[in-house]
Amino acid sequence: MDAVLENLPYLLGGFLTNLQLAAFALAGGIFLGTLVGLGRISKRPWVYYPVTLYVNFLRNIPLILVIFWFFFVMPILIGKTLDPFVSAAVSFVVFEATYFGEIFRAGFQSISKDLVSAAYSTGLTYRQTAAYILVPIAVRRMLPSLITQSIITFQDTSLAYVIGLQEMVRRTTIVDGLEVRSVQLYTFVAILFFVICFVGSRISLHYEEKSRKAKVL
Amino acid sequence: MIEIKNVSKWFGEFQVLADVNEVVQRGQKVVICGPSGSGKSTLLRCINGLEPYQKGEIVVDGVSLSDPKTNLYKLREKLGMVFQRFELYPHMTVLRNITLAPMKVRKKSRPEAEKKAMELLERVGIPDKAGAYPANLSGGQQQRVAIARALAMEPACMMFDEPTSALDPEMIQEVLEVMIGLAKEGMTMLVVTHEMGFAREVADEIIFMDAGRIVERGRGDDFFKNPKSQRTKDFLGQILK
Ligand SMILES: Nc1ncnc2c1ncn2[C@@H]1O[C@H](COP(=O)(O)OP(=O)(O)OP(=O)(O)O)[C@@H](O)[C@H]1O
Ligand SMILES: [Mg+2]
């Protein structure tokens, strides 16, 4: 354990970066994903087709490529190198929004046409119906999938090491380069990720059970 | 109050409504019946601007739905609608279901909206269910909440689309009683139903629709005793047996 203990603050500092990146990715990804989900059920062709193209395109390329591509292409477009964290955060938001978008689409489509008509028939506008009826119901129905996708997003944050972001995996390779203690170092990293993700999946299960029992939805 | 002039509607190739004409005066109660797929729900949805139509015109309270300048949201405030499967918002309490539109659309304050909601719940006979969620109510209770929710916007006309056909027999009466109460207070009503007892008691006019057309119209007993078309006779024979 010596290699881990001696470098603990450095490694945990990297872990903090993972958590921060995940926070940005989730907040941005879920917000944009809600809009993407609404776009995917839109009856307006000029909304539906561009959004669908965006979703299908990004869902068919690996995240690691999106991270790379954004990091190396943006400087050409805007003329200066981006901070790896900013670059990674933007890549994650743009990428994860397509996954969250599809989760929301399924959630919106599980809501009956007559329920939406009922909301409209009381004079609610489209925006109000989306804000008070569609999104809240979709979120409740989709909570387990949302949590699962959030866990995946969190795990994926370590991919940002490819553009030099000082997150935990990156720092572990640096420490390992000096100390050559691969087994204990990577076991430690794996355990940390496991604990966070395991707790997350328990929470997801809990909500699944809860909504089954309450049959509220 | 509602004027439907020569309205036709197609879903692709399929004609759902064919030259429908009808006038509902203020205070009138019109019952629509007809076999499944005859276009009854579609007609109500068109009146509420929830579905477009391709020919003819619908005018509600002097406002034409065909006019692109018409604000459909404003128009829908005048028309309350009740659905076969209640369609309450499952994530909100009964009280919230009723106060949502008055608060968001009419910008009423919460206390004002809740006071009105409690009066309405009193009127439909379930004031004790204000804090309950829809899933914990019986079908009859849910439908009464749905009626209260529509009434909360103080509509000039109430439209019902088979409000009792998803209910267990013992709950049908409690919903019909609320509807009869409304009728007696002079509400304008457009009701799709096969409850012929209700139709006899309250309807000023009964319309029989088949394949998107109004095949026959009549008043109360006359409609049942002397149907003119064979199609109406067959249909009445089936549901009155
Ligand atoms: N969105 C749609 N797209 C295509 N066809 C539709 C659509 N909605 C309804 N229809 C068809 O239009 C016809 C009329 O439907 P509608 O729901 O108005 O009938 P209804 O008289 O209310 O029948 P029911 O008694 O079963 O409720 C049906 O044949 C139905 O299949
Ligand atoms: Mg119908």
A40-52 pLDDT per residue, tens:
989 899 999 999 9
- Check CB contact under 8 Å for B85 and A114: yes
DSSP letter, residue A158: G
- For position B66, what pLDDT does the model report? 86
Mean pLDDT, range B24-35, rounded to an integer? 93
- Check CB contact under 8 Å for A123 and B80: no
Strands, sheet with B29-33, edge to edge from the N-terminal-most edge strand: B79-82, B157-161, B188-192, B29-33, B205-210, B213-218
Q: How confident is the model at residue B45 (pLDDT cuts 50, 70, 90)?
A: very high
Mean pLDDT by 10-residue block, N- to C-terminus, for chain A (217 residues)? Answer: 85 92 94 93 92 93 91 86 90 94 90 93 94 90 88 91 89 89 90 90 84 61
CB pairs under 8 A between A and B: 76
- Spatial contact of B139 and B88, defined as CB atoms under 8 Å apart: no
- For position A216, what pLDDT does the model report? 53
Ligand nearest to the CA of B83: 2
Q: How far is B217 from chain A (nearest CA, A)?
A: 27
**Ligand 1 pocket member B42 (CB < 6 A):** yes
- Spatial contact of B88 and B140, defined as CB atoms under 8 Å apart: no
B143-161 pLDDT per residue, tens:
999 999 999 999 999 999 9
- A207 shares contact with chain B (CB less than 8 Å): no
B63-90 pLDDT per residue, tens:
999 888 888 898 999 999 999 999 999 9
Smallest Cα–Cα separation from A29: which of A72, A85, A71, A89?
Answer: A89
- A210 shares contact with chain B (CB less than 8 Å): no
- For position B225, what pLDDT does the model report? 80
Kindly give the distance from the C-alpha atom of residue A178 to the centroid of ligand 1, in angstroms, as a whole number: 72
Kindly state the tokens that stand for A64.
Answer: 């690691």
- A119 shares contact with chain B (CB less than 8 Å): yes
Neighbour tally for B137: CB within 10 Å = 18
Asked which of B70-84, B194-208, B212-226 is least confident by mean pLDDT, the reply is B212-226
Contact list in B for residue A122 (CB cut-off 8 A) is 76-77, 80, 100-101, 105, 149-150, 152-153
Helix (H) or strand (E) holding B14: strand B14-24
- Spatial contact of B93 and B130, defined as CB atoms under 8 Å apart: yes
Return the ligand 1 atom nearest residue B14 CA: 5
- Check CB contact under 8 Å for A121 and B50: yes
- For position A213, what pLDDT does the model report? 66
Q: Is the whole model's pTM more than 0.95, yes or no?
A: no
- A212 shares contact with chain B (CB less than 8 Å): no
- For position B95, what pLDDT does the model report? 96
Contact list in A for residue B149 (CB cut-off 8 A) is 118, 122
Which residues have C-beta within 8 Å of that of residue A34, sequence separation ≥ 6? A100, A101, A104, A135
B158-191 pLDDT per residue, tens:
999 999 999 998 899 999 999 999 999 999 999 9
- Between 2.70.50.30, 3.20.20.10, 1.10.3720.10, 3.30.465.10, what CATH number should domain A2-213 receive? 1.10.3720.10
Which ipTM was obtained for this model? 0.93
Q: Whose CA is nearest to atom 4 of ligand 1?
A: B11
Question: How many residues are listed for chain B in this entry?
Answer: 241
Q: Measured between alpha carbons, how far is B145 from B97 in angstroms, rounded to an integer?
A: 8
pLDDT > 90 fraction of chain A, expressed in percent and rounded: 53
Q: Where do the structural domains in chain A lie, given as residue ranges?
A: 2-213
Which residue out of B93, B97, B99, B100 would a mutagenesis test of the A interface target, given it has the greatest number of A Cβ atoms within 10 Å?
A: B100
**Ligand 1 pocket member B40 (CB < 6 A):** yes
